[in-house]
Amino acid sequence: MPTVEVADLKDGDFLLDVREDDEWQAGHAAGALHIPISEFVARYGELTEAAPQDGRVHVICRSGGRSAQVTMYLVQQGIDAVNVDGGMQVWQAAGRDVVTDGGDPGFVI
């Protein structure tokens, strides 16, 4: 499974958050694309429209399990995708910004 550490992510890297709506609303990485895993197959076209053509898709969830599933699916579709190790829990612990849709400070649930 292709994996990347939170510390290796740079500003501007394309981030796909596959957590559910309540988790997203509590807090997420600014600029991430949100497609819950429960809706992923039906909304796959949103990812292909938003993702950089020749870039990498960094997939994140709370701890890494759901994002691993989506990463494997994307790799099977020929997309350069990697799982963000430790997910949003490690993201927040590393001091990365977690925000709400309104831009206020958020938190990981």
Q: Which residues carry out catalysis?
A: 61
Contact criterion met (CB below 8 Å) for 34 and 100 = no
- Residue type present at position 8: D
Q: What are the CA-CA distances from residue 72 to residues 63, 107, 109 (Å)?
A: 16, 27, 24
Q: What's at 25, amino acid-wise? A: Q
H-assigned helices in the chain = 21-26, 44-50, 65-76, 87-93
| Contact status, residue 53 vs residue 71, Cβ threshold 8 Å | no
